[in-house]
Amino acid sequence: MMDTIPTEFEVLDERFAVISGDDRVEVLHTGTRWAEGPVYFPAGRFLVWSDIPNERMLRWDEMTGAVGPFRQPSGYTNGNTIDREGRLISCEQGNRRVTRTEHDGSITVIADRWQGRRLNSPNDVVVRSDGSIWFTDPPYGIISNYEGVAAEQEIDGCHVYRADPVTGEVRIVADDFVRPNGLAFSLDERLLYVADTRARHIRVFEVGEDGALGAGRVFAEGGEQDKFDGLRLDETGRVWAAAGRAVLCHDPDGTLIGRLRLPEYTANLVFGGLKRNRLFIAASSSLYSLMTNVTGARPVWAVR
């Protein structure tokens, strides 16, 4: 029988009162050292996520509930997403690169250097509907051997990058972050949200037609325990963020309207299931799931 824990929604604003779900959160798996990067594959009805310190990726089967290995070694993979062709895009902290897993299982390197210098350790990634790949690059994977391979930082600073879908050019789009982490586009892709874990806030930028970002502004400030990590949007444009021992929900105007409390430190999340109303959360040693009355934003492969 599957383990469960009580669902703890905290309503901070009446706009969150309409959100509900199962009375209990499912614990789909436990036993990871640091769970990260959940990504749901609707065609196969399975979810893949990362266990960074154990240098492996795991796979959960929605039809059977079985959990097994997906990839090991994984290059200390952190964040994952899917591109428009249904291929896995991953941030390999240990290999200091962003890769694409082709349909035949082979791996293509999308980005591993900027102006000839090795990236720090790509952390999280998102794909825009034009095929461009955007990722953050803090140094967590090179600080020690725990989440990667200890090494010297070759690039001055921790930046947000864009890889061009045609030329493959990798360029910096934001260079004033302390520790850039999770990122997500607005529903119309005219805005990019980026979490800064060290600064404890989420910033939002206007995205130009040429892929350049505007100056940006602070979208949401975190509290003492709110070290923002992964981000996702629902179909109304609300921003859901993994932060501390909770998943936070922000209205599109930036107001924190509610929390889903959890017993472990959350790292990342994704909406999945056939109706995109099942919230999956990677948190410390466990993978959690909650069926909700919220529908996640349309994934990039569904945007036409």
Q: CA 90 to CA 135: how far, in whole Å? A: 10
Q: How many residues does the chain have?
A: 304
Which of 93, 11, 130 lies closest to 267 in space, CA to CA? Answer: 93
**What is the number of H-type helices and E-type strands within the chain?**
1, 28
123 is in an annotated binding site: yes
Task: Give the chain as a DSSP string.
Answer: --EEEE-EEEESSGGGTT--B-SEEEEEEE--SSEEEEEEETTTTEEEEEETTTTEEEEEETTT--EEEEESS-SSEEEEEE-TTS-EEEEETTTTEEEEE-TTS-EEEEESEETTEEPS----EEE-TTS-EEEE--SHHHHSSSSS------SSSEEEEEE-TTT--EEEEEEEESSEEEEEE-TTSSEEEEEETTTTEEEEEEBPTTS-B---EEEEE--TT--EEEEEEBTT--EEEEESSEEEEE-TTS-EEEEEE-SS-EEEEEEESTTS-EEEEEETTEEEEEEBS--BPPPGGG--
What does the radius of gyration of the chain's CA atoms come to, in whole angstroms? Answer: 18
Partners of 268 in the β-ladder: 282
The one-digit pLDDT tens for each residue of the chain (304 residues) are 579 999 999 999 999 999 999 999 999 999 999 999 999 999 999 999 999 999 999 999 999 999 999 999 999 999 999 999 999 999 999 999 999 999 999 999 999 999 999 999 999 999 999 999 999 999 999 999 999 999 999 999 999 999 999 999 999 999 999 999 999 999 999 999 999 999 999 999 999 999 999 989 999 999 878 899 999 999 999 999 999 999 999 999 999 999 999 999 999 999 999 999 999 999 999 999 999 999 999 987 665 5
Is 36 annotated as ligand-binding? yes
Judged by phi (left if over 0) then psi (alpha if -120 to 50, else beta), residue 64 lies in: alpha
CA pair distance 292, 26, nearest whole angstrom: 12
- Assign a CATH topology to domain 4-291: Neuraminidase (2.120.10)
Q: Is 154 annotated as a binding residue?
A: no
Q: Is 229 a catalytic residue?
A: yes
Known binder of ligand: residue 55?
Answer: no
Contact assessment for residue 56 and residue 68, using Cβ atoms and an 8 Å cutoff: no
pLDDT, one tens digit per residue, over 233-250 is 999 999 999 999 999 999
CA atoms in the 13 A half-sphere facing the CB of 241: 36
Does the N-terminal peptide bond of residue 73 adopt cis geometry, omega within 30 degrees of 0?
Answer: yes
Catalytic residue among 112, 229, 234, 251: 229
Q: Has this prediction a pTM greater than 0.85?
A: yes
Domain ranges of the chain: 4-291
For position 225, what pLDDT does the model report? 80
